[in-house]
Structure 1
Amino acid sequence: MSETKAIRALRGRLLWFVDDPDAAGDAAYRYIADGLLVMADGLIASVGEAAQLLATLPPGAEIVDHRPHLIMPGFIDAHIHMPQTQVVASYGAQLMDWLNRYTFVEEQKLAQQGHPEKLARFFLDELLANGTTTAAVYCSVHPQSAQAFFAESERRNTRMVAGKVMMDRNAPEPLTDTAESSYADSKALIARWHGKGRQLYAITPRFAVTSTPEQLAAAGRLAAEHPDCHVQTHINENQAEIAFACELYLKAADYAGIYEDFGLLGPKSLMGHCIHMTKREWRAFAQAGAVAVFCPTSNLFLGSGLFDWDRARREGVRVAVATDIGGGTSYSMLRTMAEAYKILQLQGQSLSAFAALHAITRGNAVALGLDHWVGSLEPGHEADVVVLDTAATRAMAHRLETVRDLAEELFVLVTLGDERNVAATYVAGEAIASH
């Protein structure tokens, strides 16, 4: 006799996306003013009008009434550093100086017993409190940092992508590995964690500046041997970084050419920043299917530059959006999109509330190739959900008295929203962060 599925249904205003609003307009989203999201065995079982679905629930089903709150797919962060939670808000430096003065100092602490576990717990607590249920995560150079992260993620049953950083030069000696050890350690972590439950591995050379050609070749071998793994790294964030990388790899066509030459630019490559891109680099990204990861708060805080989203679209390059903690200054994907809006405004570009919320749900899921699992409220998807109180602060409640439609309400949420708007977070159908 089969075991009866535990049914939990969430009632509220449902919003999710089935297409890109910039391409499909109002047809891109589904909105149900009084909806029911039915979850069973960690998946979304059905979704629709509450009046119709309530009658179909079996006896004993749990109904959680979140009205008048907004229920959306859990947010997705495409680029974030677990070791940098205690580096956030470090004063007065651009990228290379910031790495040497702050980041590399803190990352050495992950060699200490218990420290990776402490950071992993805090990190996942903070993500979930902000409604982020999936992220592409950089651990430190230490294999135990990735081990600790995956173990904590497995305990919480979160869908995460992560990897041990590969870094064998231009960093403090305690933070360097070798081409051989980084290959072996990464391969062991892939065998241990990739595809285990909801865990996925990302091959993670930090960036060309901190990897020798031998190490990038090792990373390329890993990518060829494990084509279902992601690759994540940094590119074209800062002018001094670009000059340094090109000095180290004189034979490469440009910064993107370095990664191309080692087989690291492909459809599962998540390339952080992409601010100072040449025409050839945009073309190379488009041809490879690589993803440009836009990190608004980090780019502003470190003075790196303004990401050109319209150019990426024109060139046919997929874009994801990310917090980039700890160069970034907020764990909130809502705060991140508020800053993205301002960056685009400075360049004469626009970002609607629908486009912003699409970006941090279905948009990032598509960019990461995870849209068959997360980023949607469609039946069959994993039941990762965020519940949002759009009137969570006095200022927001006051402002909402004058909004005329859903688009205006959502723009207030995107512009003024943060962790305080997250009323609850569900992972695989379980409520694991309530506020």
Structure 2
Amino acid sequence: MKIGIVGLGVVGLVTGAVLADQGHEIVGVDIDQNKVKGLQCNRSPIYEPGLDELLQKNKERFTFTTDYSMLKEADVVFITVATPTVEGKNYIGYVLDAAKAMKPYLKRDTIVVVKSTVVPGTSRKVKQIVEREVVSNPEFLREGNAVVDTAKPDRIVIGSDNKASGDMIENLWSFTKSTVLRTSIEEAEMIKYAANSFLATKISFINEIANLCEVIPNCDVNTIAKAIGLDKRIAPYFLNAGLGYGGSCFPKDTLAFVSFARELGEELKIIEATIKVNEERPKRAVKIMKELLGGLNSKTVCILGIAFKPNTDDTRESVGLKIAKLLSDEGANVLAYDPKAKTSLVKMVGSKEECVKVADGVIIATEWEEFRGIEQMLQDKAVLDGRRVLDPNKMSRKKFRAIGLYRGD
């Protein structure tokens, strides 16, 4: 088929690349001219394992443009634009703008698929604008594993009013061999928010258990998490205690979900608590480092990892950057190193060795594989292992703290 992708971020690029690899002809549209020019020159704007190779392999089937008229032959058009949270609410302006821009060029039988994360009711607004059949087909990919998650997802959710339209999208994704759930449009939109909120809640839950373990002798949250994760009703996923969640999804989606519920006269108290716990994590990290160093003023602190998670260069809602800001506010000199991510918000250095060498204290904020096994390098430093990548038995306990491990004072 001829498929349009509107919005060339992680979701759009990966969706397009995976579908191109299935033999479809893809037209990717984005209003960012620099991004489009880069893609036309085989430069991806993001780092995602396997994506560059997939784009290169299928470059003859993936066209990049800023021109919406290039969608005129499309059988299906995916909307994959950003949906940020603005003042606590899901901002759908980019989605509606995309719908308005594409409408004049769509064939009468073109199916518009909303893949952006939107609150229930949004896809119906898109349907009113484009006057075509609209399907809600939320994504559940994990940054850092996006290509695999798109090609082999746990499930495919298809929300539609029209059976034929839903059938067409189900057939499009049939190569994945994944379980398909056919739902209403509103149910599909809700599923995405419910899934992300539940995963965020698991993270905040285990982080609260970690806090308790730190003040109980002989307690390690990793042992607790492993044991409860073996219960099939709980499962081990998203039970890694640390400095909290960041990224482009969980922070904005939980806030938007809570706001959406309030507008309907309901409270999502558990999700509100999840957000509160997560907001406290960077502050806790700074408090621990302050204790280890006996103060932060004029001390140099190295942050290892500013990507919000490993295997991505995405720094949106980065916990490492939040910690850097708080440390600076306390008078510390802050340096940072990350294998992939870059930013102008903190002074970056070129290697972990360079960062650690000049530091009084070190905070591991992202669990890159590169940060495992560096215990010897850290011996004379105050260290907070915020992602549990170090072996505590190889560290000096007087100057070392790990999230969820009894602090021993």
Give the TM-score, by structure 2 length: 0.25
Q: Report which of the two structures shows the higher radius of gyration computed on alpha carbons.
A: 2
Q: Which gives a bigger RCO, structure 1 or 2 (Cα 8 Å, sep 6+)? A: 1
Give the TM-score, by structure 1 length: 0.24
Higher strand share: 1
